[in-house]
Amino acid sequence: MNQKKKYDYLIVGAGLFGAVFAYRANKAGKKCLIIDKRSHIGGNVYCENINGINVHKYGAHIFHTSNKIVWDFVNSIVDFNRYTNSPIAIYKDQLYNLPFNMNTFYAMWHTKTPESTLAVLESQRKDALDALEGRTPDNLEEQAMALVGKDIYEILIKGYTEKQWGRPCNELPAFIIKRLPVRFTFDNNYFSDKYQGIPVGGYNVLVERLLSGIETKLNCNFFDNRLELEQIAEKIVYTGPIDEYFNFAFGRLEYRTVSFEMEELSCPNYQGNAVVNYTDIEIPYTRIIEHKHFEMFGDDVYSVKSTVISKEFSTEWSPGMEPYYPINDERNTRLFAKYKSMASDNDNVIFGGRLADYRYYDMDVVIWNALNAKI
């Protein structure tokens, strides 16, 4: 007769998937232990408080969704503020609103009506399509110009994308840009989702409340004590890299990664916006995040006399670096399918989250998947 194990679930990773799963399991009366190799909970949504400013330690995280179930769930844990993502792009000292909308086109072409803007766009699209001579775009550069024309591509896409991927656009696959939204309205809201905001007090509040009353061990690497940890729970919820779980049996999956240069400045308002993209290839970073603008609005910005900015750099990933963005090319897609097949054969392990699924997820999708995982 098998002896009952100490925990119903060992949850590897205290990010959003692990925290939401643990919350649900705890509510269902299950005993959980959640571990994380980092010194904090929250995964990549973790915020570091610097002089009253919640700094998004692993890059900007802006919650948005059209899923009312997910929105109601997170708001049942913590209130969300009114933050609306309206990024700015800078190219050779000229400012442009994102996403591409009438404000963008006025700055670029001085067109004032949808009709005049569409005429310019269609002319440039036609030039790009004529250059293709009837064939399908072979690379990202051709795909982008066929969608939005030469000016938008060269000013707002080319440099930023090449910095992101570390390769010329004419060497990147066309499928990376399947569509580029163009709005013929003066609307700077980047997302079209119905709900949007940042947790009041930062993401740490959300994760701390999800894990309230649940045993948590930090600085605990699953792979350092794997044999012991696998014996203490009936089931494992694993949110780390799927290839590492299977000891890289078929080889390593590949990623892009990002690094950050953080500065605390003595001025109260550095750039007037949370997100400013730098699309000029000569500038090495892709964007600057000014963190206080995620949670401070209007005159509140000046209630804290300093500010914190992060310059974001996209770089090649190598083992030991933080994996951020999956490279979903033919090789990695084929490799992941092999690992996914192995995972499907394992009834005692639940795989979830961006690393275990080898997929870039918006936060609402991670939470939705965790809400629907079988307990």
pLDDT value of position 1: 43
Mean pLDDT of the chain: 96
- Of 176, 208, 224, which residue sits at a domain end? 176
**Which residues form the domain of 22?**
7-83+193-252+328-372
The pTM assigned to this predicted structure is 0.94
Same domain, 105 and 233: no
The DSSP symbol for 101 reads: -
Q: Say which residues have a Cβ less than 8 Å from residue 263's Cβ, sequence separation at least 6.
A: 308, 309, 310, 311
pLDDT tens digits, residue range 216-259? 999 999 999 999 999 999 999 999 999 999 999 999 999 999 99
pLDDT value of position 212: 98
The DSSP symbol for 212 reads: T
Same domain, 99 and 237: no
- Of 128, 143, 176, which residue sits at a domain end? 176
pLDDT tens digits, residue range 165-175? 999 999 998 98
Same domain, 73 and 97: no
pLDDT value of position 179: 82
pLDDT tens digits, residue range 145-166? 999 999 999 999 999 999 999 9
Q: Say which residues have a Cβ less than 8 Å from residue 167's Cβ, sequence separation at least 6.
A: none
pLDDT of residue 7 exceeding 70, the answer is yes
Domain contains 270: no
| Mean pLDDT of the 295-305 span | 96
Where do we find the tokens 């007769």?
1
Alpha-carbon distance 269 to 265, whole Å?
9
pLDDT value of position 3: 72
Q: Which amino acid is at 302?
A: Y
pLDDT tens digits, residue range 16-35? 999 999 999 999 999 999 99
- The enclosing domain of 341 has a CATH number of 3.40.50.720
| Mean pLDDT of the 128-156 span | 96
pLDDT of residue 2 exceeding 80, the answer is no
Domain contains 93: yes
pLDDT of residue 332 exceeding 90, the answer is yes
Same domain, 97 and 166: yes
Supply the residues annotated as catalytic: 179, 183, 256, 287, 312, 360, 362
Number of domains in the chain: 2
Domain contains 54: yes
- Of 141, 176, 211, which residue sits at a domain end? 176
